Each structure stands twice: as structure tokens, then as C-alpha cells.
Amino acid sequence: MEDIYNINVLAKYRTHLANERTCLSYLRTSLALFALGFFVFKIYPSIYSTLLSTIAIMLGVVLFSYGIKRFVVVKKEINR
């Protein structure tokens, strides 16, 4: 019985770690989109590059928000 408990506890730890890795990948991708948006805005000053940089930055914000929200929801589900 002790072995089954340890297996379940270790599985829960692994699931938490996987959730954190997924959250960090969302944050890393959103940071890359932020950087792309600022890079395009600074290097290529035109109306099209401004539009592209605005879209990239907005996508970064949306992805960041989604990643944090997903992390919290999955964390609650794991702890149930």
C-alpha cells in the first residue's frame, strides 16, 4: 500500500513539473513575440512594420495571459 501512495505522489509531482514547463514555454514564446515586435519597430520604420510590430506585441500579450491562466487552471485541477 505504501508503494502505491508513493507512486501517486511522484506522479503528482511530475504533473506539476510538466505544468510549470508548459507555462514557461508560453512565457518564453510571448517574450520572443515582444522582442520581435520591438525589433521590427526600431529597425524598419514604415507603416507596415509598425502594423506588424503591433500585431506581434499584441499576440505576445495574449499568449502571456493565456499561459498564466492555463497554468492556474491546470494547477487547481492537479490539486483536486
How far, in Å, CA of 12 to CA of 3, rounded?
14
pLDDT value, residue 61: 97
Q: Are 74 and 8 in contact (CB under 8 A)?
A: no
Give me the phi and psi of 45, to 5 degrees please.
-80, 90
CA 29 to each of CA 3, 26, 37, 57, 59: distance values in angstroms, whole numbers, following the listed order: 39, 5, 12, 11, 10
Query: For each of the chain's 80 residues, which pLDDT tens digit applies?
Result: 566 667 788 889 999 999 999 999 999 999 999 999 999 999 988 999 999 999 999 999 999 999 999 999 999 999 88
pTM summary value: 0.82
Coil, strand or helix: which one is 80?
A: coil
Q: Which three cell numbers stand for residue 79?
A: 490539486
